[in-house]
Amino acid sequence: MRFNIINRNKKIPKEVLKACDGNEFLARMLFNRGITTYEEAMNILDISTYSPFNPNDIPDIDKAVGIIIEGINEHKKIAVYGDYDTDGVTATTILVDALRKLDANVLYHVPDRFSEGYGMNIDVVKKLHEENVDIIITCDCGIANFDEIDLAKSFGMTVVLTDHHTVGESIPNADVVINLQLLPEGHKARAVSGCATAYYLVKVLYEKLGKDGADDYLDLVALSTIADVMPLINESRYLFKQGFPLLQNPERVGVKALLKIAGIENLTEDDIGFQITPRINAAGRMDSARIPVEMFLSDSLDEALEIAKEIDSFNVDRKNIQKEIVEKATDIVENVKKNKKILVIYGDSWHHGILGIVAGKICEQYDKPTIILTLSEDNETVVGSARSTNDINIYDVLSKNDKNLIKFGGHSGAAGLSLKKDRLEAFTKDIESYADIYFGEKAEKTIDVDMELNLSDINEETFEAIEKLSPFGEAFMPPRFCSFEQNVISDRATSVFHHFLVLEDKNGDHINAVIWNGEPVDYTNKNMDISYSIYRDTYKGANELKLKIDDILESNAENHSVKAIFIKAQDKPIEELVGEYKDATIFYEGPISFKPNLPTCNLENIGLSEEVILYSLPRNNKRLKEIMEKTKASKVILNYSYAQNYEINYFTKVFLGYIKYIISNKSGLASINKVAETLNIDDSFVLTFVEFLSQIGYIDYKVIGNDLYFEFVEKERKKNLALEKIVTRYLYEKAEYVKYNMQ
């Protein structure tokens, strides 16, 4: 684990410095968050300079509003169909409350997590039809519910679909679809919550009817923006800034009640994420999301407080059950699964509503993709949730191992799945084998920080600059800093290992710091490197700037290393690059026929070098990391004059050509490592492809220690679809790796 100071060697754009009145500290933090123009910087520093999105510009918004107005005027029965998380709860609340205030005949439905699952449900649509519903308005769901919407239409119902999830190649046959994902790529309002989408619909509806009050719902929009992890930039940031004061000084009795029960007096963004959202979600996990909807719709503080107490009790139960399942899952990992590259963990009686949280906790704890599974109520079906690390797309993993699944869905970081119980063993074996082949070794963790600070730099001026950039959240993360060689003067730890530290740097400056939920370690008198955020401690009347430490490491020069600069030079001849970078080492691994007529090194013999030219593409990221560690290079020139073609027919010819060379020149004998190096494939794949060639009928081979002995033969081809699928999939992913790196 080491620290990486973002943009350490890059100059801050003049326009950003200008917006910050020359304040380099402030400008550096903006630049580190992708802000490169004066306008972008001013939109962050002064929200009044931002031009908000006009919801009248949403495609088909007038059509949706027309349907609703007609439904109200003709006293049609309208059903709001929401979701069971905080975004769905707040979106449902807005639509139901706004329509009630227009004297609409409105009811609502939020799904039962256990019996219905996410999104619309066929049986519920049938039930709404039986209740003579004329119009369904979805919120935070619907964009993937083709069958359910077709059924509603067949019953003669009108469907207004509002959602914010990713739009597929086609859209359901609703009467109108309101989804800001349909706006052009890069549009400032494209990434807003489902609740914000519902707010926009109400805002245009109220404008058409000449009614005030739509902006009163901005408190719920702000809540949903944090709860659903929307990027805090552009329109989402603007909406949050408008709604956050309404949350801090609430008029809505449901919000008042929830803040009171949570014991929150001065609400922060972190409170929304870690105190408010888990309570709302707990109702849907443990019982029903109708409960928080009713709390937000209530006009009685006493009633709202009673509901808030019930929600709080659900959250307590959720935490207790979660703790128990995490402990059991951890025990399984430690005793059975610790060496697996993906963690597939099953318990036959675990609470369905907690599986996603547990998967997230285990994934974070072991830094491995995690699938938590349990038995469904029918005792025949296994259901589960998956969470993944940043470098592995869990949806893709499931899609390539779906033969044992009933269904699955999700995205790169999270997914849900179900399968028959009798397929559990086969599924587990397949997906663990897949991970063994396709998951590379974990690279050393790199901790990104904004800049290195001395303790003397941590003062009121610094903190005020940080505050100017708030709010922080997804796509606009809180500033994080590092300091090296901090002597821990004292370390007072609690029973749950909250550490309260006093630090001293080389200049003799001191500061207090905390580590929440740390390790059972005493840091007293140790010299440590730290990454941290800065906060103001106001507990019990205090007013002191402190450090909240995220990572603490034994002081080590490796942690201070500067990230290398990568220079793209694929269009230049190697001779020109050697003239420009006279002391550079040339890295090459590949066929002799492509090797440049210059001295080169491979991974085994490469050594220290300030500059490295990559003439061939390293076969995986792990080898690139090893090149960086061996050379300690500060400049890496990407030349990539040779990159293997992994199209299966072409690659088969290349492999056979290399075997012919080995038979002609090496008596048919070559090391597995040499074959892998020459053909730019992983060592583990060499035997897989050799067996594939053998079954096709081209060769025979023997494994002699770490060597392979080849001979050409003519024999009957054996069909092995499973092996062919593995080979094809591996080569496809290698081709994608090459394509990505070449671009």
How far lies 332's CA from each of 232, 343, 362, 427, 439, in Å?
A: 38, 10, 11, 18, 21
pLDDT-derived band at 716, boundaries 50, 70, 90: confident
Among 120-129, 397-406, 635-644, 713-722, the range scoring the smallest mean pLDDT is 713-722
Asked if CATH classification 1.10.10.10 holds for the domain at 55-233, the reply, yes or no, is: no
Q: pLDDT tens digits for 442-485?
A: 666 788 999 999 999 999 999 999 999 999 988 899 999 999 99
**What's the mean per-residue pLDDT of the chain?**
91
Asked if pLDDT for residue 682 goes beyond 90, the answer is: no
CA distance linking residue 164 with residue 193, whole number of Å: 6
CA distance linking residue 283 with residue 355, whole number of Å: 15
Per the CB < 8 A criterion, the answer to whether 81 and 142 are in contact is yes
Per the CB < 8 A criterion, the answer to whether 656 and 693 are in contact is yes
Angle value at C-alpha 646, between 645 and 647, nearest 5 degrees: 100
Asked if pLDDT for residue 558 goes beyond 70, the answer is: no
DSSP strand pairing (585-587 vs 611-616): parallel
Asked if pLDDT for residue 561 goes beyond 60, the answer is: no
CA distance linking residue 225 with residue 272, whole number of Å: 10
Q: What is the pLDDT of residue 47?
A: 93
Nearest to 453 by CA among 418, 484, 422, 488: 484
H or E segment at 247? helix 234-248
Nearest to 418 by CA among 463, 372, 366, 459: 372
Token pair listed for 592: 């002799």
What would the mean pLDDT of 35-51 be, rounded to a whole number? 96
350 or 640, which is more confident? 350
Asked if pLDDT for residue 713 goes beyond 60, the answer is: yes
How far lies 560's CA from each of 8, 281, 556, in Å?
A: 12, 41, 7
User: For the chain, what are the domain ranges?
Assistant: 10-50, 55-233, 249-328, 339-438, 565-642, 648-742
Token pair listed for 75: 């006293």
What would the mean pLDDT of 358-369 be, rounded to a whole number? 93
* DSSP codes of every residue in 416-482: EEEEEGGGHHHHHHHHHHHHHHHPPPPPPPEEEESEE--GGG-SHHHHHHHHHT---BTTBPPP-EE
pLDDT-derived band at 541, boundaries 50, 70, 90: confident
Asked if pLDDT for residue 410 goes beyond 80, the answer is: no
Q: What is the pLDDT of residue 559?
A: 61
Q: pLDDT tens digits for 208-259?
A: 999 999 999 999 999 999 999 899 999 999 999 999 999 999 999 999 999 9
Asked if pLDDT for residue 261 goes beyond 60, the answer is: yes
CA distance linking residue 250 with residue 470, whole number of Å: 20
- b/e 317-339 (16+ beta carbons within 10 angstroms → b): bbeebbeebbeebbebbeeebee
Q: What is the pLDDT of residue 206?
A: 98
CA distance linking residue 568 with residue 452, whole number of Å: 28
CA distance linking residue 396 with residue 198, whole number of Å: 31
Asked if pLDDT for residue 117 goes beyond 80, the answer is: no
Output the CATH code of domain 339-438.
3.10.310.30
CA distance linking residue 175 with residue 249, whole number of Å: 39
Q: pLDDT tens digits for 477-526?
A: 999 999 999 999 999 999 889 999 999 998 899 999 999 989 899 999 99
Q: Helices (H), strands (E): how many in the chain?
A: 25, 25
Token pair listed for 357: 């949280």
Among 106-110, 238-242, 711-715, the range scoring the smallest mean pLDDT is 711-715
Asked if pLDDT for residue 639 goes beyond 80, the answer is: yes
Q: What is the pLDDT of residue 408?
A: 83
Asked if pLDDT for residue 563 goes beyond 70, the answer is: no
CA distance linking residue 493 with residue 253, whole number of Å: 39
In degrees and rounded to multiples of 5, residue 330 shows phi and psi of -60, -40
Beta bridge partners of 545: 536
Q: Classify domain 648-742 at the CATH class level.
A: mainly alpha
Per the CB < 8 A criterion, the answer to whether 565 and 11 are in contact is no
Asked if pLDDT for residue 616 goes beyond 80, the answer is: yes
Q: What is the pLDDT of residue 617?
A: 86
Packed helices 253-262 and 301-332: angle between N→C axes, nearest 10 degrees: 50
Asked if pLDDT for residue 557 goes beyond 70, the answer is: no
How far lies 203's CA from each of 59, 467, 740, in Å?
A: 15, 31, 43
